[in-house]
Amino acid sequence: MEARINRQRGTVAVIDCYTDEPAGLGVPPYLGIHPRYVAGAASVNGHQPVYLTIDDLRVTSRGRGRGYEHQKRTLNTTPNLARVSRVLEQARLVVVITGKGTPGKYVSAEPGSPEEAAKLVERCAPRHGPLVAAGPCAYTTPGPWAERYDLVATGDAECFVADLLAGEDSSDRRRDHKELDVYARAGACILPQHPWGADATVELETSRGCPRALSGGCSFCIEPETWGLPSFRSAKDVQAEVTALAAEGARHFRLGRQSCIYSHGARGIGETERPRPDPMAVERLLRAVRTAAPGLSTLHVDNANPAIIAAHPEEAASITKMLVRHCTSGNIAALGMESADPAVVKANNLNAEPEEVLAACRLINRYGAGRGENGLPLFLPGINVVFGLLGETSETYELDLAFLRGLLDEGLLVRRINVRVVVPYSGTRLAREGARMARRHHSLIMTYRKRIREEVDIPMLQRVLPLGTRLTGLRVEIAKGKTTFLRQPGTYPITAAIQTPLERGEVMDATVVAHRQRSVTVVPRPLDVNAVSMSLLTSVPGVGKRWAARIVLGRPYRDVAELSPLLQEMSEPEALAAALGIPARREKA
The pTM score is 0.94
- Please, what is the end-to-end C-alpha distance for the chain in angstroms? 85
> What average pLDDT does the segment 453-457 reach?
96
pLDDT of residue 317: 98
Reply yes or no on domain 200-464 having CATH 3.40.50.300: no
pLDDT of residue 75: 94
Tell me which residue of 182, 185, 164, 186 sits closest to 173, measured CA to CA.
Answer: 164
* pLDDT higher than 50, residue 589: no
- Where does CATH 3.40.50 sit in the chain? 1-195
Rounded distance between C-alpha atoms, residue 253 and residue 336, angstroms: 22
* pLDDT higher than 70, residue 70: yes
- Residue 554 CA to its chain's centroid (Å): 44
Parallel, antiparallel or unpaired: strands 131-134 and 93-97: parallel
pLDDT of residue 64: 85
As its CATH architecture, domain 1-195 has 3-Layer(aba) Sandwich (3.40)
Rounded distance between C-alpha atoms, residue 281 and residue 530, angstroms: 54
* pLDDT higher than 70, residue 437: no
Which DSSP symbol is given to 456? I
* pLDDT higher than 80, residue 101: no
- Where does CATH 3.80.30.20 sit in the chain? 200-464
pLDDT of residue 117: 97
Rounded distance between C-alpha atoms, residue 64 and residue 69, angstroms: 8
* pLDDT tens sequence across 261-308: 999 999 999 999 999 999 999 999 999 999 999 999 999 999 999 999
1: pLDDT confidence band, cut at 50, 70 and 90? very low
